[in-house]
Amino acid sequence: MAGSGLAGENQHAQDRQANVRSPFVRLTELLAGIEPGKPLINLSVGEPRHPMPSFVAPVIATHIGGFAKYPMLRGTDRFRASVANWLSRRYKLPRAIDPDKEVLVLNGSREGLFLAGIVAKRILGERGGKPAIIVPNPFYPAYGAGAEVTGCELVALPARRETNFIPDYDSIPDELMKRTIAIYLCSPANPQGSVLPRETLEKVITRARKYGTYVFADECYSEIWLGDKVPTGALEACGAKFDNVISFNSLSKRSNLPGLRCGFAAGDEKFISAYAELRNVSAPQVPEPLQEVAIAAYSDEYHVEDTRKLYRQKFDLADKLLGQRFNHQRPEGGFFLWLDVTELGDDETAAKDLFKDAGLRVVPGSYLARTGSDGKNPGANYIRVALVDDLKITEEALSRLASFRK
């Protein structure tokens, strides 16, 4: 018994370390010393490689003088107004967002998702036990890193194929909810592309409010849907008020601007105010010329529609070339394939072999998840494949995947 307990403690220690380590660093270590067997195609990083919108360079040139001064911490009035206007156009909100009190500029959504737990813990204080943060499993690493720095227990709800990769939020015990400071949602999900139904969002928000828990909605893939189903936003599923709900979004995926590092948090007024206080002493401001680019981006939907069309074409290729191989199913949103590589061995072995023999760099699914209380890692035996290149490169990558050891 003592031995198994020690083994369990060692496993949890390894999981905690994995939660705060980049999966890409782990992948680099896994592939160290291995040469790709064909010209390398990097499918590991969710970095859009579509053309930037044509307005980016002219807007920066027009406002380049703004780099000579410190920006306003909360974001310019113009930026916050543009975000509020976009949210009202994109979603059926219960009321208009107040740009002065309910919007905050961020250096991309990752900053926001990482620091949010600190703000929630400051506001909520003692919770009658070790504070907890609930995340979907697999999850974006920033969630786990945020839980680590706040000293919170990370509770990961498995998202498996049999439930359309949507966690069972109804299964969260009341005892856990009483000490939970935040529930992270991700829709469309990274990596599986599942979209949370409005009913699920409403139920999670209602229950969170009952216990004073915050809902952090990671919606950075909100504009990439691959069918006719437009993802519902958390802010339009929260009734007449935005209490306890915060949406995080950015231009990285929507506008093919991952290097711009400009995003926002919007929602609960009390939270946004406390968040601004934390950013005032902990996070760099977003340069005004970059906010001007964001204003232009949030005012234009044509480039977003072109981007969405290109992703749909790439998933059409995946449907054609992969068929049912690796249990491929077209996701509802996002730009990842989540492939079951059991036939190739475990996910680490598959990642190494695909790199060594096919020149494809992919992420082992277990690197994006943690081992649950049932002793299982829901990312094990999967790989994540980012379809972020142009159609020609994507077709070559998918062809290599489809024919690999067939």
pLDDT above 60 for 15: no
Query: What's the CATH code, domain 2-51+303-403?
Result: 3.90.1150.10
pLDDT above 50 for 5: no
Give the pLDDT confidence score for residue 6 in this predicted structure. Answer: 36
When pLDDT is averaged across residues 47-52 and rounded to a whole number, the result is 96
Give the pLDDT confidence score for residue 406 in this predicted structure. Answer: 87
pLDDT above 70 for 329: yes
Q: What is the pTM of this model?
A: 0.94
Give the residue carrying structure tokens 């950015």: 250
d(CA 174, CA 229): 32
Question: What are the residues whose beta carbons fall under 8 Å from the beta carbon of 266, sequence distance 6 or more?
Answer: 83, 84, 87, 97, 102, 103, 104, 235, 246, 247, 249, 272
When pLDDT is averaged across residues 14-40 and rounded to a whole number, the result is 85
Question: What are the residues whose beta carbons fall under 8 Å from the beta carbon of 5, sequence distance 6 or more?
Answer: none
User: Hey, what are 315's tokens?
Assistant: 């998933």
367-391 pLDDT, tens digit per residue, is 999 998 889 999 999 999 999 999 9
Strand duo 132-137 + 153-158: pairing: parallel
331-344 pLDDT, tens digit per residue, is 999 999 999 999 99
Q: In 3-state terms, the chain is what percent helix, strand and coil (to 5)?
A: 45, 15, 40
Give the pLDDT confidence score for residue 128 in this predicted structure. Answer: 84
pLDDT above 70 for 14: no
When pLDDT is averaged across residues 255-263 and rounded to a whole number, the result is 97
Domain ranges of the chain: 2-51+303-403, 68-299
Give the pLDDT confidence score for residue 260 in this predicted structure. Answer: 96
Give the pLDDT confidence score for residue 87 in this predicted structure. Answer: 98
When pLDDT is averaged across residues 80-105 and rounded to a whole number, the result is 98
Question: Angle of helix 288-298 relative to helix 77-90, nearest 10 degrees?
Answer: 20
Q: How confident is the model at residue 17 (pLDDT cuts 50, 70, 90)?
A: low
In terms of C-beta density within 10 A (0-12 exposed, 13-18 middle, 19 or more buried), how is residue 73 classed? middle
228-241 pLDDT, tens digit per residue, is 989 999 999 999 99
Q: How confident is the model at residue 399 (pLDDT cuts 50, 70, 90)?
A: very high
Give the pLDDT confidence score for residue 117 in this predicted structure. Answer: 96
Query: What's the CATH code, domain 68-299?
Result: 3.40.640.10
161-194 pLDDT, tens digit per residue, is 999 999 999 999 999 999 999 999 999 999 999 9
d(CA 94, CA 92): 7
Q: How confident is the model at residue 18 (pLDDT cuts 50, 70, 90)?
A: low
Summary mean pLDDT of the chain: 94
Give the pLDDT confidence score for residue 2 in this predicted structure. Answer: 34
CB contact at 8 A, 264 and 85: no
96-132 pLDDT, tens digit per residue, is 999 999 999 999 999 999 999 999 999 999 888 999 9
Give the pLDDT confidence score for residue 373 in this predicted structure. Answer: 84
Q: How confident is the model at residue 21 (pLDDT cuts 50, 70, 90)?
A: confident
Distance from the first to the final alpha carbon of the chain: 44
Topology agreement, domain 2-51+303-403 and domain 68-299: no
